[in-house]
């Protein structure tokens, strides 16, 4: 599962993580990043605020957890 696939299947809650997910889905240029540094760099280039980067980090951690669960299945 790629990060973009993960984003596509996640629910958009009413919280900063949900806002990040919604923004990422609407961003036609959102890359299918392979690492947290890659995602953080993209967000920095887009001028993302600290709160958006923090929310993205939480979503990224969720993605890694999902990959671990998938690997263990």
Q: How far is CA 64 from CA 2, 26, 29, 72, in A?
A: 10, 22, 22, 12
Confidence of residue 73 (pLDDT cuts 50, 70, 90): low
- For residue 42, give its domain range: 3-72
Contacts of 19 (CB under 8 A, 6+ apart): 12, 52, 55
Number of domains in the chain: 1
> Measured between alpha carbons, how far is 61 from 41 in angstroms, rounded to an integer?
16
CA distances for 73 relative to 51, 66, 70, angstroms: 33, 11, 5
- Asked if 33 contacts 50 with a C-beta cutoff of 8 angstroms, the reply is no
- Residues 12-42: tens digit of each pLDDT: 889 999 999 999 999 999 999 999 999 999 9
- Chain-wide mean pLDDT for the chain? 94
């Amino acid at each position: 599962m790629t990060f973009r696939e993960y984003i596509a299947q996640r629910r958009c809650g009413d919280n900063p993580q949900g806002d990040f997910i919604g923004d990422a889905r609407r961003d036609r240029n959102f890359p299918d990043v392979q690492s947290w540094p890659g995602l953080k760099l993209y967000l920095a280039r887009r001028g993302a605020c600290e709160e958006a980067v923090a929310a993205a980090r939480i979503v990224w951690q969720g993605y890694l957890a999902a990959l671990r669960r998938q690997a263990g299945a």
